[in-house]
């Protein structure tokens, strides 16, 4: 009987029978992983997240040094990326595309923050809990990364556009051309925005002062 | 004036340069992303648990002052309600119920005896507790 013969006899190693060979996702290129993820392979997307989350965290950390918000921003970036995988064109590096999503997520975060200034007027239990968590986060960020925390505290008084430009320019050391690409602005517009943002920042610093470290 | 502005901005730039050297914390969002994409509540719970494991318990908790403040500000009514609670709970015990019933019966008998008009034979003896043969009855009637 053909089927009663052991597999080893017909030339198949035992370990191959127990663990059939699967494509090693960690060895795949981004493009291959994206292709699989587009077809609904969550394992492939998990590998994309594992591969890029440190870079994205590093980028968004400049926007928000508070850990729990930072985790939310990284997560949001990845989910946006998954939902828009079909829009990525292989002509551009996947990393740049993902970075652009992250910058936009950071920009949206600044916009949200400027629309909802911290308020103690809302005294519901949930709001108090959130406020307490934010305070703890802020204290932890001040201890771990005091300079980033201080820079963002100073920039927080500016509108979201200005805050984003200055964050990318000062904290990422990003050239204006790259900022223009990331924000989908023209270079001239980016230069004007940067100039105006610096002027506003000067005024704020003159009014409120700056901590001497 | 211009140089003052410049100095402020320069300080900011120095601050930003130092901030650039700060490192982001280790963040692993894979479980969260998986939970969000699959809508799996258990994975979401696992993600939260993983996050919780990274959190450190505060090392310096001292609740002595809080406890003292709570004890000082507790309304006195709370204590009395506790006593009432104890009494009510005790009355639910059969032995206590029997004892209380016996007490009420004794009081009833005592009050009946007290309302009875004194006879000539006992009038003289009624002045003292010794006139009552039963010492319990004497105590209940006269309180002595």
pLDDT in tens, chain A (213 residues): 344 444 444 444 444 444 444 567 777 888 899 999 998 888 899 999 999 999 999 999 999 998 888 999 999 999 999 999 999 988 889 999 999 999 999 999 999 988 765 555 555 666 676 677 777 777 777 788 899 998 998 999 899 999 999 999 999 999 999 999 999 999 999 999 999 999 999 888 888 776 544
CA dihedral sign, ordered A182, A183, A188, A193? negative
Q: What is the pLDDT of residue B114?
A: 77
Global pTM value = 0.62
Mutate to test the interface with A, among B7, B15, B31, B56 (most CBs of A within 10 A): B15
- Chain A contact set for B8 (CB, 8 A): 202, 205-206, 210
Q: A64: how many CB neighbours lie within 10 A of its CB?
A: 25
- Are A197 and A118 in contact by the 8 Å Cβ rule? The answer is no
ipTM of the complex: 0.71
Q: What is the pLDDT of residue A195?
A: 94
Environment class of residue B1 by beta-carbon count within 10 Å: exposed (0-12), middle (13-18) or buried (19+)? exposed
Q: Searching chain A, which residue's CA lies closest to the CA of residue B2?
A: A202
Tell me the pLDDT tens digit for each residue of B32-57. Answer: 888 888 877 777 777 777 777 766 66
Which residues have CB under 8 Å from B69's CB, separation 6+?
Answer: none
**Alpha carbon distance A98, A85 (integer Å):** 10
CB contact (8 A) between residue B33 and residue A49: yes
- Chain A contact set for B38 (CB, 8 A): 42
**Alpha carbon distance B3, B7 (integer Å):** 6
Q: What is the pLDDT of residue A18?
A: 47
Encoded tokens for B24: 């982001």
Encoded tokens for A42: 């969550």
């Amino acid at each position: 009987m053909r089927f009663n013969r052991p597999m080893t006899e017909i030339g198949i190693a035992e370990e191959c029978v127990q663990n059939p060979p699967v494509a090693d996702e960690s060895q795949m290129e981004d493009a291959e992983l994206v292709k699989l993820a587009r077809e609904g392979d969550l394992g492939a997307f998990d590998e994309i997240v594992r591969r890029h989350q440190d870079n994205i965290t590093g980028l968004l950390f400049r926007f928000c040094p508070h850990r729990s918000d930072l985790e939310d921003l990284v997560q949001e970036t990845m989910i946006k990326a998954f939902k828009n995988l079909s829009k990525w064109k292989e002509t551009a590096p996947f990393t740049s595309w993902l970075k652009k999503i992250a910058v936009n997520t950071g920009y949206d975060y600044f916009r949200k923050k400027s629309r909802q200034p911290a308020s103690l007027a809302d005294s519901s239990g949930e709001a108090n809990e959130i406020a307490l968590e934010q305070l703890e986060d802020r204290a932890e960020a001040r201890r771990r990364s005091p300079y980033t925390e201080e820079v963002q505290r100073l920039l927080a008084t500016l509108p979201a556009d200005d805050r984003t430009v200055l964050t990318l320019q000062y904290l990422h050391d990003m050239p204006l051309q790259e900022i223009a690409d990331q924000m989908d602005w023209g270079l001239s517009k980016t230069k004007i925005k940067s100039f105006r943002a610096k002027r506003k920042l000067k005024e704020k610093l003159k009014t409120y002062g700056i901590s001497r470290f | 004036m211009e140089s003052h502005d410049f100095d402020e901005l320069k300080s900011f730039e120095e601050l930003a340069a130092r901030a650039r050297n700060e490192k982001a914390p280790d963040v692993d969002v894979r479980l969260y992303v998986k939970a969000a994409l699959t809508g799996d509540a258990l994975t979401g719970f696992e993600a939260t648990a993983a996050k919780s494991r990274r959190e450190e318990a505060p090392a310096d908790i001292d609740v002595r002052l809080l406890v003292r403040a709570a004890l000082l500000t507790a309304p006195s009514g709370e204590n009395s309600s506790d006593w009432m609670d104890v009494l009510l709970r005790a009355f639910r015990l059969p032995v206590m119920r029997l004892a209380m019933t016996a007490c009420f019966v004794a009081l009833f008998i005592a009050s009946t005896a007290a309302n009875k008009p004194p006879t000539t034979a006992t009038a003289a003896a009624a002045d003292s507790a010794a006139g009552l043969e039963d010492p319990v009855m004497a105590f209940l009637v006269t309180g002595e």
